[in-house]
Amino acid sequence: MLSMPKVINFVKKKLGFPHVVIELSDSEIEEQIIFSTLNEFSKYLPHTNELVLDTMKAENKTVQENVFYLHDEDECDIIGVSEVIFPQTTLFLQGYPFYGPITTIDEVPSMLINILNAENAEQFSKASLIFEYMVPNKLRIFHSMIPDKFVVRYQRVHPETLHTIPTEHQMEFQYLALADTMQICGHIRNKYTNISTPFGDIPLGTDVASAGDSLKDKVIEKLETLPPNVIFHIG
């Protein structure tokens, strides 16, 4: 599991620490990761989360009708809403079968047909559910019978703990953090091209920023080619 100390240690080692002086402290590197790297990475690989929206709670109500606030448990920025899941009450009204023990295989075809018919009927009935996400954290529901509680599945920026970064994409995140740090260090070094010492001026090297730009472009290019981070839920 990825963590902030691991990423900071990775960045510093790639920059040559402790043999090379780094212009940023650990807290400054962390700040850069939180405000830049996390947001950039989450554009391509957001974290999918769920919440139960209680429409009766005052903290979730707005002055607009059928518009509710969404509150992320980690106070992460919400990118978008992918699914709103109501209780199956309206489906039952359309003839959706109640789940029960299947005693014979002959029951399966008729049950599947009833499920399909109920779902199709709901799409073209007054019970059809339509929603709209309103930046930064509002959800508008277009429905004649909004339940007191329902599930909202949404995409958000990964938490600052970094524990939700997918294992298979941790390396991309770390190199993106490295690129962001290189850009900042490079801009600082551009202001101070040389260090004066008793042995003469020592060039700092100002190509760090351009190297950071190049690295970031390569990481973003790879992230752009990844398949959509969509989870399909069946049932």
Q: Which two tokens stand for residue 15?
A: 């920059």
Residue 148: Cβ-neighbour burial (10 angstroms; 0-12, 13-18, 19+): exposed
- What are the residue boundaries of the structural domains of the chain, listed by start? 4-45+160-224, 47-156
Map tokens 């510093």 to a residue: 12
* Identity of the amino acid at 49: N
Q: What is the pLDDT of residue 66?
A: 95
30, 102 Cβ separation under 8 angstroms: no
Query: Strands 200-203 and 78-85: what pairing?
Result: unpaired
Q: What is the pLDDT of residue 229?
A: 57
Q: What is the pLDDT of residue 233?
A: 41
Sorting pLDDT into bands at 50, 70 and 90, what band is 94? low
The yes-or-no verdict on residue 36 having pLDDT over 70 is yes
Please give the share of the chain, as a percent, with pLDDT higher than 90. Answer: 55
Task: Read off the pLDDT of residues 37-46 as tens digits, 9 standing for 90 and up.
Answer: 999 999 999 9
Q: What is the pLDDT of residue 186?
A: 84
Q: Mean per-residue pLDDT for 6-16?
A: 94
Q: Mean per-residue pLDDT for 13-18?
A: 90
Mean pLDDT of the chain: 85
Q: Taking the model in full, what pTM does it have?
A: 0.77
H-helix or E-strand spanning residue 8 = helix 4-14
Q: What is the pLDDT of residue 212?
A: 87
Measured CA angle at 233 (ends 231, 235), to 5 deg = 175
Q: What is the pLDDT of residue 81?
A: 96
Please give the share of the chain, as a percent, with pLDDT higher than 70. Answer: 78
Cβ neighbours for 23, distance < 8 A, ≥ 6 positions apart: 184, 185, 188, 189
Q: What is the pLDDT of residue 232?
A: 41
Rg from Cα positions in the chain: 25
Task: Read off the pLDDT of residues 123-136 as tens digits, 9 standing for 90 and up.
Answer: 666 567 889 999 99
Q: Mean per-residue pLDDT for 78-94?
A: 80
Among the residue ranges 98-102, 105-109, 177-181, 192-196, the one predicted with the least confidence is 192-196
Task: Read off the pLDDT of residues 147-174 as tens digits, 9 standing for 90 and up.
Answer: 999 999 999 999 999 999 999 999 999 9
Rounded to whole angstroms, how far apart are CA atoms 230 and 132?
18
